[in-house]
Amino acid sequence: MSNEITITAARLIRDVPAAEVRVDDALIALSSLMTSVVTARRDTAGVPAARGQATIRRLMKAQVALVGVSGDMLRIHGDLADIGRETAGYDLHECPSIAEAGTGSQAICA
């Protein structure tokens, strides 16, 4: 394998999982915010049930959008694994098991 492919693969090993984790972190943060907003509305005396509904709907839309982003990240990961097989000749079956095994083939599995 060329040095250029090795460097590119190493960068992907670092960047793909980092992006996946950040999307998950954003989804967790929005879910926590949703819980806080709904709890605040419920627990604040004198606040009508309709108050804050538009905010809650916007949060829900943001969560749905992030779920879509998460799915796109999974497809991106798979696409990169396919490219690794085609370009570098990796025989990858399941990225997580290869990454956990710590083999050199994890380069494109990122």
Domain spans, the chain: 3-107
Mean per-residue pLDDT, 12-27: 94
Residues sharing a CB contact under 8 Å with residue 49, sequence separation 6 or more, in sequence order: 41
Name which residue leads in pLDDT, 25 or 4: 25
What distance in Å separates the CA atoms of residue 99 and residue 84, rounded to the nearest whole number? 14
**Region of poorest pLDDT, from 8-12, 52-56, 66-70:** 8-12
Decide if pLDDT at 26 tops 60. yes
**Region of poorest pLDDT, from 3-7, 29-33, 35-39, 92-96:** 92-96
- Mean pLDDT value across the chain: 83
pLDDT tens digits, one per residue of 68-91: 999 999 999 999 988 887 876 655
Tokens matching residue 2:
């060329």
What distance in Å separates the CA atoms of residue 70 and residue 52, rounded to the nearest whole number? 27
Residue 8 — very low, low, confident or very high, per pLDDT cuts 50/70/90?
A: confident
Mean per-residue pLDDT, 50-77: 95
